[in-house]
Every structure is written in C-alpha cells, then in structure tokens.
Amino acid sequence: SQQGEEDPQALSIQEGENATMNCSYKTSINNLQWYRQNSGRGLVHLILIRSNEREKHSGRLRVTLDTSKKSSSLLITASRAADTASYFCATDARGSQGNLIFGKGTKLSVKP
C-alpha cells in the first residue's frame, strides 16, 4: 500500500502567495524526496532530505522533515503560474535500494 499521504489533495492560490503541502509516511526512512509533475509530463526531482536533516532549502523551495511525526512539508514561496503542477512526496524506506513509495500528490493551481 502507498506509504505517503499528501494533503491537501488540491490547492488553489494566487500568484505571489506561498503554497504549503504536507506529506505523512508510515515506516522508517533513509530519505524523503519531493517531485513535481507538470500536466502531460514526467517527474522532475525537486529536493531530497535525509532522515538526519530537519530542513532544506533550494531556491524558493523549503522542505522540512519531522521523523518523530513521520511527516514532511514542502513550502513554495512567492508562487508563480509556472508552479502549477502536481507535487508528490516519495520515501526511500530503510532497507530499500532505490525503489520509492509515493504519496497521492497535491495538485497545485497558481492563478495569475
């Protein structure tokens, strides 16, 4: 069964606002990754956060990880219309060798 659960399932905001997406998982992990998928396109890797890290930044992206709560959040600051996409978290469970378990995803719509 899928391990990650994202919320919200869908999020609609105005350009310039911040978007926060959350992800929960069930088992111990090596790391957690966030991906973006534009409509009709493949997956784009955004950021990886290891189990011993609590926060990571990449440009307008900020990811947090709370292993005690088995949860992560992705914050996109100053959103743009081009950020419109589906966002997935994926966990690389301990003992795995690169296979990921994906959450259901959050569909983000940024209105100009």
Partner 1 sequence: SAVISQKPSRDICQRGTSLTIQCQVDSQVTMMFWYRQQPGQSLTLIATANQGSEATYESGFVIDKFPISRPNLTFSTLTVSNMSPEDSSIYLCSVQKPGNTIYFGEGSWLTVV
* Nearest CA among 4, 2, 1 for reference residue 73: 4
Contacts of partner 1 in 25-84 (CB under 8 A) = 30-31, 33, 35, 40-43, 45, 48, 50
Q: Tell the smallest beta-carbon distance from residue 90 to partner 1 (Å).
A: 8
| Residue tagged 């994926």 (tokens) | 90
Which residues make beta-bridge pairs with 26? none
Contacts of partner 1 in 86-105 (CB under 8 A) = 88, 90, 92, 97-105
> Is residue 21 helix, strand or coil?
strand
Two structure tokens written together for 29 = 């992990």
User: Where along the sequence are the contacts to partner 1 (CB under 8 A)?
Assistant: 2, 30-31, 33, 35, 40-43, 45, 48, 50, 88, 90, 92, 97-105
